[in-house]
Amino acid sequence: MWQTGCLLLISLCIAGSFGAVRISPSMGTVTVAEGKSLQLNCTGEPNSVLTWKFGNTVLGTGGDLEIRGGVVAPNVDNVSILTHNNVGTDRSGEYRCIDNKTAAEATVIVRILKVATTDALFKYQEGATIACSADPDDAGDKVTYTWMKNGTNVSDIPTPSGQKFVEHENGTLEFKPVTTTREDAGVYECKMTVGTSEFSSTATLYAKPFVIPFDKSKNLVQEERLDVRCKVLGYPTPTITWFKDDVEIQADDEGSRYKLAEDNGHPNAQLKIDSVDFDDAGNYKCVASAEHIMFDEPDMSMPVPANASETILVRVKDKLAALWPFLGIVAEVVILCTIIFIYEKKRNKDAANEDAVNQDGATPEKSKEGVRHRGNTNNPRA
């Protein structure tokens, strides 16, 4: 996929920097990639009125062009700042800054250099190549390329398990299979140098959304906290949505018990419920989606939906659940004790009855005795 990100190359020639007008940057040639931002500062005398001209056109703020200070009176730092965002190739040419009071002027020459950039899509264990290519015919000189990611030279990015990047002279950055991971996806800046001027453009290694697998299920006890974190990878950074049993969770709703928080720099990556109840049991799904990008593969002509998800089954147990076995044992002990107690009591009662029988109603024995006594002539009661 060749994206014609062109490149605006501006050469500043301080042709007429007599008087007190100066334009910075003040190097002979300044290069800015098309689509990037051009900034020129013109410093003049205090309270002089500075006018910018592009060819014969007097420039003023409008569209992507902004001129700050200097038009009426450059009494803020004596400077007029011209900023042109998203510069097109038609903006190449001569820029002049004129001091109306002294007629002093400084001149800038703009040249256009086309740059093509190639983006790529990360595929697991496959290599990828992104590229920048400035048109050498327009540059006049040989262009040299170096690549940066987030301000770091790629040759300084550590790769623990072997070489990851190969920077080719023609402006391609090759990602080696195996050592390249989804985390390497992102925007890469290619810095180009031609002659004395440096300019830059960007190429992107895209990666489809991916959710790092998490536990398939989780058991919670009533009133415990639910805390699930969804770690997502991909570029552009996927947005995260949560579903409970396929119904989207709206944490912002009034009275919602769900709390969504940022985790690891990803908004909504953390789902919390402070105190779960039986109703909270269910399937929780984290969906990572790259909403605004269609990933086309294999030849970038067929749009492919780009969502990834992980689901966790949450079970909620009765908070007394853990107590039941204990209560069971207690109940058993109580019943056992009661039985023993009743039994013992009954036994004691029987024994007592027997004693009582032996004492007051001891007729049988007494009668026996009596009989015996009666049979005994010596019995005084007889």
Ligand X SMILES: *[C@@H]1O[C@H](CO)[C@@H](O)[C@H](O)[C@H]1NC(C)=O
Judged by the rule CB under 6 A, the positions of this chain that interact with ligand X are 24-25, 39, 41, 46, 49, 51, 58, 77-78, 81, 100, 131, 146, 150-151, 153, 155, 168, 170, 172, 191, 241, 287, 289, 305, 307
Smallest distance, ligand X to C-beta of residue 307, A: 4
Least distance in Å: CB of 329 to ligand X?
A: 50
* Nearest distance, CB of residue 196 and ligand X, angstroms: 15
Which residue, 46 or 267, is less far from ligand X as judged by CB? 46
- By C-beta, is 62 or 151 nearer to ligand X? 151
Q: Provide the minimum distance between the beta carbon of 77 and ligand X in the complex, in angstroms, as a whole number.
A: 4
Residue number with CB closer to ligand X (226 or 290): 290
Closer CB to ligand X, residue 261 or residue 293? 293
- Contact of 133 with 2, CB cutoff 8 Å: no
**Shortest Å distance, C-beta 123 to ligand X:** 18
CB atoms within 10 A of CB 153: 12
Q: How far is the CB of 190 from ligand X (least distance, A)?
A: 10
Nearer to ligand X, 25 or 370 (CB): 25
Nearer to ligand X, 10 or 121 (CB): 10
CB of 41 to ligand X, least distance (A): 4
Select 46 or 361, whichever has its Cβ closest to ligand X: 46
CB of 144 to ligand X, least distance (A): 8
Residue 10 or 276 having the CB closest to ligand X: 10
What are phi and psi for residue 345, nearest 5 degrees? -60, -45
Pick between residue 231 and residue 317 the one whose CB is nearest to ligand X: 231
Distance separating alpha carbons of residues 351 and 334, to the nearest angstrom: 25
> What's CA 381's distance to the chain center, in Å?
112
Q: 3-state secondary structure string, the chain?
A: CEECCCEEEEECCCCCECCCCEEECCCCCCCCCCCCCEEEEEECCCCCCEEEEECCEECCCECCEEEECCCCCCCCCCEEEEEECCCCHHHCCEEEEEECCCCCEEEEEEEEECEEEECEECCCCCCEEEEEEECHHHHCCCEEEEEEECCEEHHHCCCCCCCCEEECCCCEEEECCCCCCHHHCEEEEEEEEECCEEEEEEEEEEEEEEECCCCCEEEEECCCCEEEECCEEEECCCEEEEEECCEECCCCCCCCCEEEEEECCEEEEEEEECCCCHHHCEEEEEEEECCCCCEECCCCCCEECCEEEEEEEEEEECCCCCHHHHHHHHHHHHHHHHHHHHHHHHHHHHHHHHHHHHHCCCHHHHHHHHHHHHCCCCCCCC
**Smaller CB distance to ligand X: residue 18 or 343?**
18
Shortest Cβ distance from residue 100 to ligand X (Å)?
Answer: 4
Nearest distance in Å: CB 55, ligand X: 13
- Cα separations in angstroms, 162 against 149, 165, 211: 18, 10, 26
Q: Give the Cα separation of 369 and 110 in Å (integer).
A: 145
